[in-house]
Amino acid sequence: MLWLLTLLACAGGKSEDADGAAGAETDPRSEWTGGDFWFSTTAVEDGCMGGALRILFMPEGSEEPHRFEHLIYLPAYEEMPLSQTIDLRDPFMEMPITIDEGPDGVLQARGSVMESVELGGNFGDCVATMAVDVDLSPIDATTAEGYAHIGMTDVRGDEVCPVMDDEDCLVVLTLAAQLD
């Protein structure tokens, strides 16, 4: 499956000297040390089934950011590449990921797969395979922002399962991460 990936450029801030005068740009990567982060989904762009999957990713509604149930460890640059399994909430499951440094210091995970995610709701016992690519940009030592691109394929398991019109079904999540 071919995906068009969006990279979020690192956002730098201006430093100030002792007198409060603006100085040179600071590089967020110079402050990044990694650690355990709380993630939140702050927006969903749902290109699957007419937007019916939005509720999976933001169950409280599109105006309410959805905080993940478990902390996720993000590595410092010198720890990359780092392979680990992260815990996600139901109906999602544990997902193996490898985080590596991408262009401009973006933390990237590519090709992580969840084989049988339950769609729930009006979709009965339907499950789907979801492949995930993530791009996160450190903002400072305690925050990062970015996107998750989730491709859904192989919907199966129940006669009420939706028929996919497009094999390249894509959901894009806007993410925020805050150090615990």
Q: Where do the domains of the chain lie? A: 32-179
pTM of the model: 0.80
pLDDT tens readout for residues 70-113? 999 999 999 999 999 998 876 777 899 999 999 999 999 999 99
Instruction: Give the torsion sign (CA, 107, 110, 112, 117).
Output: positive
pLDDT in tens, 115-134: 888 887 778 888 989 999 99
- Nearest to 152, CA basis, from 86, 71, 43, 54: 54
Please give the Cα distance from 166 to 164 (Å, whole number): 5
Other Cβ atoms within 10 Å of 90 Cβ, number: 9
